[in-house]
Amino acid sequence: MAPWTGGFCPPTARHTYGFKRGEVIAALVNAVALIAVSLVIGREALGRLLHPTLVARDLMLAVALAALAANVGSVLLLRRHEKDDVNVRSAFLHMAQDALASLVVVAAALLAHTAVGPYVDPIAALIVGFAVLRSALSLVWETFSTLLEGAPAGIDLETLFGEVKGFLHDRWRVAHATLEPEVEGCGQGGVLESWRQP
């Protein structure tokens, strides 16, 4: 059974790895929802570019300012937890993009009654929608990689295993070895730790 490092729902006899992948699945669902929303935003924005219309500036500005304050507060609360797990990072990403969108909407509202006003709003929506789509696709790729048990980014398993296998071959003439890395040590030293010694 894999060691449990804390968090929601520890391992059980039936689910020996706990329910960590539930968080990954939730992040995947969130990313897919973001993709769907960005596509809807893009479609509506293109329609308004083809048929420009004036917007209710005062109402738009009031709602955008309230949303900006709420989203900035959420981003500040989630910022220090962003790297803890993919689900929290998904929520952080969502809130950060909502804050950016609110800021863009504030700018669009301030320009609503100018000559370029009818075009600023849909162009801003396209920019925000593209940013959301790009980040959501990146999150989808990361969650799929986790669900398919891919190696974490930044870890060069080939080099690490190559060094260990080279040591096993040179020291004990082991020509074939299956290595299984763990997050925490097995608590045994001696021979297992001697491969890094000169």
pLDDT tens-digit series, residues 31-85: 899 899 999 989 999 998 898 887 788 888 898 899 899 988 888 887 776 555 6
Cα distance between residue 109 and residue 132, in whole Å: 21
Alpha-carbon distances, residue 127 vs 18, 32, 68, 120, 132 (angstroms): 40, 19, 17, 11, 9
Residue 86, pLDDT above cutoff 70:
no
End-to-end CA distance of the chain: 33
* Cα 56 versus chain centre, distance: 34
Interacting residues of 189 by C-beta distance below 8 A, sequence separation 6+? none
For residue 97, name the pLDDT band (cuts at 50, 70, 90): confident
What is residue 185's three-state secondary structure?
coil
Q: Write down the pLDDT at residue 2.
A: 42
Nearest to 27 by CA among 153, 139, 148: 139
Confidence at residue 84, expressed as pLDDT on a 0 to 100 scale: 56
Q: Which residue pairs from 147-155 have beta carbons closer than 8 angstroms and sit at least 24 positions apart in sequence?
A: 147/21, 147/24, 147/25, 147/28
User: Pick the residue with more confidence: 130 or 184?
Assistant: 130
Q: How confident is the model at residue 4 (pLDDT cuts 50, 70, 90)?
A: very low
- d(C-alpha 130, C-alpha 72), whole Å: 20
Which domains can be identified in the chain, with CATH numbers? 20-147 (1.20.1510.10), 157-196 (no CATH)
Query: What is the pLDDT at residue 36?
Result: 93
The pLDDT score that the predictor gives to residue 197 is: 58
Q: Which residues contact 46 (CB under 8 A, 6 or more apart)?
A: 122, 126
Choose from 64-68, 127-131, 143-147 the range with maximum mean pLDDT: 64-68
Global pTM? 0.60
Q: Is residue 153 very low, low, confident or very high in pLDDT (cuts 50, 70, 90)?
A: low
Which H or E run contains 175?
none
pLDDT at 59: 87
Express each pLDDT in 17-37 by its tens digit: 667 778 788 888 988 998 999
What whole-number percentage of the chain has pLDDT above 90?
Answer: 9
Q: Considering only residues 87 and 133, tell me which one the structure prediction assigns the higher pLDDT.
A: 133
